[in-house]
A and B are shown apart, each in its own frame.
Chain A
């Protein structure tokens, strides 16, 4: 059974960098699939942030591209997200996910990140 678990600070100051890591168990991220991040502001809908393939190819939401970096550590079977220059509007629950062919088939439990001084 594939499991994803997000980790990272729950509070980040404005203008700083938000860093999250997703640890994957039950499947090797270097084998196949894309792995990505989705966020959900409180009381709002889902927004795709970025994804990385098993071979390292990355895609990101054009609206966030200038501030986002996604990377993977195959040896640790985990992937990470960095979102720079955060502001209050970036406060959200962040989910790490596995992307199959045109489907998001596994989700982490989510981690709430607040941006506040």
Chain B
């Protein structure tokens, strides 16, 4: 059972926008930064968003992050088939790293 709650799956058509939610509590999301990671099958997760809403170098601006209270959201616009992957949110609680259970994105 993951500390953070994500929907198991989301789907949308190419070119559309999708959002993935991540719900936590005051002691984790409420007082810490949220990151998002993208994982393709058989590969390591890759940092997509950090500091709630910042993109590392090389991540396109189609990907965005936001946080409000004890929830965070990952947004992806202009969906591409290459965006099909698992997405994980992560943050900290009492100095320890915690994650959501992951959301599988299907681009129909």
Cβ of B24 within 8 Å of any chain A Cβ, yes or no, is no
Q: Report if B60 contacts A (CB, 8 A).
A: no
How far does the Cβ of A45 sit from chain B's closest Cβ, in whole Å?
Answer: 5
Residues of B within 8 A of A45 (CB): 2, 88, 99-102
Is B37 within 8 A of A104, CB to CB? Answer: yes
Q: How many residues of A contact B (CB 8 A)?
A: 22
Closest Cβ–Cβ distance, residue B86 to chain A (whole Å) = 9
Q: Flag whether B18 is at the interface (Cβ < 8 A).
A: no
Q: Is A32 positioned at the interface, with any CB of B under 8 Å from its CB?
A: no
Interface residues of B in 14-48 (CB under 8 A from A): 32-33, 35, 37, 43-47
- Shortest beta-carbon distance, A114 to chain B, in Å? 16
Q: Which residues of B contact A48 (CB under 8 A)?
A: 96-99
Asked if B44 contacts A95 (CB within 8 A), the reply is: yes
User: Does B95 interact with chain A (Cβ within 8 Å)?
Assistant: yes
* 7 residue pairs bridging A and B, Cβ less than 8 Å apart: A61-B96, A102-B33, A102-B35, A102-B51, A103-B50, A105-B47, A108-B44
- Name A's B-contacting residues (CB within 8 A): 36, 38, 45-48, 51, 59, 61-62, 95, 99-105, 107-110
